[in-house]
Amino acid sequence: MASVTERLESIYGNRKWVLAAQAAVATRPMQELLSGWGAETLVVASNEGTGEVPDTTIVYTRSGGDTAVESIREFFRSVVAPAPEIQREVDRFDPAMEARVLAEPYATASEMVGRRTFGVRRQEWSAWEDKMRVDSLWSDLGIPHAPYRVVPVDDAPRAAVELASDLGTVWVADNTEGWHGGGEYVRWVPPTGGFEEAVSWYSGRAGLVRVMPFLDGLPCSIHGWVSATGVAVFEPVEILIFRHADGSGLAYSGVATLWTAPDHTRDEMRSISLAVGQALRERDDYRGPYGIDGILTLDGFRPTELNPRMSAGAGIQLAKVDVPLGLLMRAEAEGEINVDHEWLERSAREHRKPGIHFGKMVRREVRDEFHVALSGGAEVVATDDEAESAGKVIAGPSATGSYVTGQFDPDRVGVGPPSGPFVAAVLNLASQRWELGLPEMAAAPYLIG
């Protein structure tokens, strides 16, 4: 849409920008676009990442952490209160203090490296990410959801006994330690016990936990975009959350758009997304993308959390729309542009491309790749024959050691059914081949009522 891009160029072109992201490679598309618009850029990153870094000055904080969320937090600490050598490089780039910072979508700090963060989320928007609060929104809007209790950590076992399904309960922490995602503050507690271990883990990390029955079914999400003109609603997306085969836990590993939701499921999820988007707009003057995660059960979709930001599921659906989404999102949040929601929804549908977007951070350092082929059903084997390959698995550097990801041919994997069984098999194979020490992964069942 030429007018949108032209407006964005007038906002972002011919000025200085500091791009802040954990992996330098993630900034490359934005940096190249901004450079083409006459902007000057400097990148502040934790590490290089896997792939080609942008052709500009890059300053590395070398922050890290044992988990993805800890790595994110440590990186943001390193740019909110930067080390002297980092600050000196930024000040050398921008001595007149004119630059603005473009940070990753989950950022909430209004200032980084001594400059204003452009398009950062307002506090009242990010507050909806707190799992202790969001269930009240489902109730207010009449959206069916699972029963739950929000209780002090020590009271969680009692709530779990009351709420447990045949598979037990799922606990999630409040935001005592700040923003969290990727399932890192979520625990699957079996009906037969595990209470002491869960209470021990949450003690000191949370004041409250939400306890909910373990919902059997397909993890999935629905996304939308709120603008001044209305609410765009997109298509359902599969979330790649796997169960440890021994029942010891859950593992978030990305999203996939190969799954085609049945019409009645699609209609239900889109209706929920529209209601939530309208409520965010009316209550908090919200602007930009959002996502609703949940489980597709035999009784229908049951939401479990709200992410008021650009999330993976929204990003991949909009990736082929011919506008720079990251810049559009930030300009919308700033009130600098009003995107046409009908155009955005139509464009996302027309440009939707099936794909698998998975990644797993591991502590072992691996720099390798291999091709995989289907050997029947969702079973996979390593292959040297690229002609029979369904794609390849790649391991590269990350803040925790390595990042395992993949590139797959949707037609070889199969469009229509969920991708979880295939990706679980890929992760299990990669763990064996590279001795990653990951638990064996099992995909959630696909239940259609």
- What is this structure's pTM? 0.89
Contact 68, 184 (CB under 8 A): yes
CA distance 339 to 287: 10
Residue 412 burial class via C-beta count within 10 angstroms: exposed 0-12, middle 13-18, buried 19 and up: middle
284, two tokens: 């908090």
pLDDT of residue 401: 82
Contact 384, 432 (CB under 8 A): no
Q: Tell me the average pLDDT across 431-445.
A: 95
The three-state secondary structure class of 63 is coil
The three-state secondary structure class of 400 is coil
Contact 17, 39 (CB under 8 A): yes
Q: Tell me the average pLDDT across 410-437.
A: 95
CA angle 304, 310, 314 (to 5 degrees): 75
Q: Give the chain's radius of gyration (CA, Å).
A: 22
pLDDT in tens, 193-225: 789 999 999 998 999 999 999 999 999 999 999
pLDDT in tens, 246-269: 888 899 999 999 999 999 999 999
Q: Tell me the average pLDDT across 337-343.
A: 92
pLDDT of residue 72: 86
**What are the E-state strand segments in 168-236?**
169-173, 186-189, 208-213, 218-227, 230-233
CA distance 66 to 56: 29
The three-state secondary structure class of 34 is helix
pLDDT of 319 over the 90 cut = no
pLDDT of residue 351: 87
